[in-house]
Amino acid sequence: METHLLTLASRLPGRVQRYVCCLDASPDYRKRLTEAGIDHCNVDCPTLIRPGSILGYLRFERVVARFQPHVVHTYGFAADVIAAVLRARGANVRVITSRRGEDANRRHLAVRRLVNRLSEKIVCVSSETAQFVQSTESPPPALVEVIPNGVSMSPSGDRPAKPSGGTIRIGTLGTVKPIKGTDLLVEAFMRFDSKQHVELQIAGIIDRPWAEALRDRARMDRRIQFLGRMSPASDFLAALDIFVLPSRSEGMSNALLEAMALGLPCVATDVGSNRSLLQAQCTEPAGIVCAPTSEALFAAMSHLANDAAARVALGARARQHARDHYAVDAMVNKYDHLYLTIAAQTRGHDSTRYAASL
């Protein structure tokens, strides 16, 4: 989500005044926003149940009063609720909410049915996510709009084959937690023969107890490395030979899109939009899609680790598919049109200029 938001805010046209209000941003992310020249603040409100959440809301309300946006676009359950309360209190804004995956929390779904009544649009990152929203929240069909994520293409061409005998570097990128299936990937990798020249690199936040326990279990295989947060992610991905997305649930993965854009051969579990990303609109698959099990992941990784030609061919198709169907400019144009359309519904709107708060 952070990468998507940073890309979108950086590339919106000049008529858009954008301000990013973070609920609980890391220092690294705030630094990236500053370097990109994007005005932002942090209200320190990561959840709705902590004692300071009311103060976080009041900080957000002050930001809105000062910035006076026409559109408030929210990402995440807490942000959705905060914006709905703002609208219910009479703020002259229009609200767009986002769905980036399948949130099956029953309490969240019940609250979102109420929030939807105060929203102008629900933006879903894929048709699969939109179908899930329709089946669980039952919004009016006109309320839902699909805008797939986009990715910037690297200037480099297709990746050359690694020389015979070199170590094959397999990697994944994302927060280390159960829903991301990092444990499935570790179990799958540990099936490789100890003499085979492969290594596994896992990039992402690892400060949760579950992640620490997984890292302790993986220490028996010295070929497995937990690297923590990597910035920029593109440098980490560019050093890999195979990218794996082992998620148990997924929306539309920016990490997978970035790996495709870099020409990496990709393996992803058959959840969320992964199959659409790698195989839809393709004459030949642009990646391997498998069941979310350690056995299936190992079979896919082993195939690519032992077949240099397959890695090169799959990586080239992935890069071409990303270029043809997930260009970042197309995504930005769709959001620009959506913001302009929704902003026009705001009282006192100036049709020549509008502001969006993300």
For the chain, give the longest Cα–Cα distance.
Answer: 69
Look up the CATH number of the domain holding residue 241.
3.40.50.2000
Q: Grade residue 270 by pLDDT with cuts at 50, 70 and 90.
A: very high
- Based on the fold, state whether residues 297 and 339 are members of the same structural domain: no
Q: Which residues constitute the domain of residue 285?
A: 168-325
Angle, helices 27-35 vs 2-11, to 10°: value is 20
- Based on the fold, state whether residues 180 and 303 are members of the same structural domain: yes
How many distinct structural domains can be found in the chain?
Answer: 2
Give the chain's mean pLDDT.
89
* Mean pLDDT computed over 297-311: 96
Instruction: Report the pLDDT value the prediction gives residue 239, as an integer from 0 to 100.
Output: 93
pLDDT digits (tens, 9 = 90+) for 200-259: 999 998 878 898 899 999 998 999 999 988 878 888 999 999 999 999 998 889 999 999
- Based on the fold, state whether residues 58 and 142 are members of the same structural domain: yes
* Mean pLDDT computed over 336-341: 93
Gyration radius from the chain CA atoms: 21
For residue 174, give both structure tokens.
């994302």
CA gap 175, 321 in Å, rounded: 26
Q: Does 105 map to a domain? A: yes
Q: For the chain, what percent of residues have pLDDT higher than 90?
A: 58
Strands of the chain, DSSP E: 16-22, 40-42, 71-73, 94-99, 121-124, 144-146, 168-173, 198-203, 224-228, 242-245, 266-269, 288-290, 354-357
pLDDT digits (tens, 9 = 90+) for 64-82: 888 889 999 999 898 999 9
Q: Does 54 map to a domain? A: yes
- Based on the fold, state whether residues 252 and 334 are members of the same structural domain: no
CB contact at 8 A, 325 and 151: no
pLDDT digits (tens, 9 = 90+) for 132-163: 999 999 999 999 999 999 998 866 555 555 55
Q: Does 156 map to a domain? A: no
CA gap 336, 207 in Å, rounded: 37
Instruction: Report the pLDDT value the prediction gives residue 4, as an integer from 0 to 100.
Output: 84
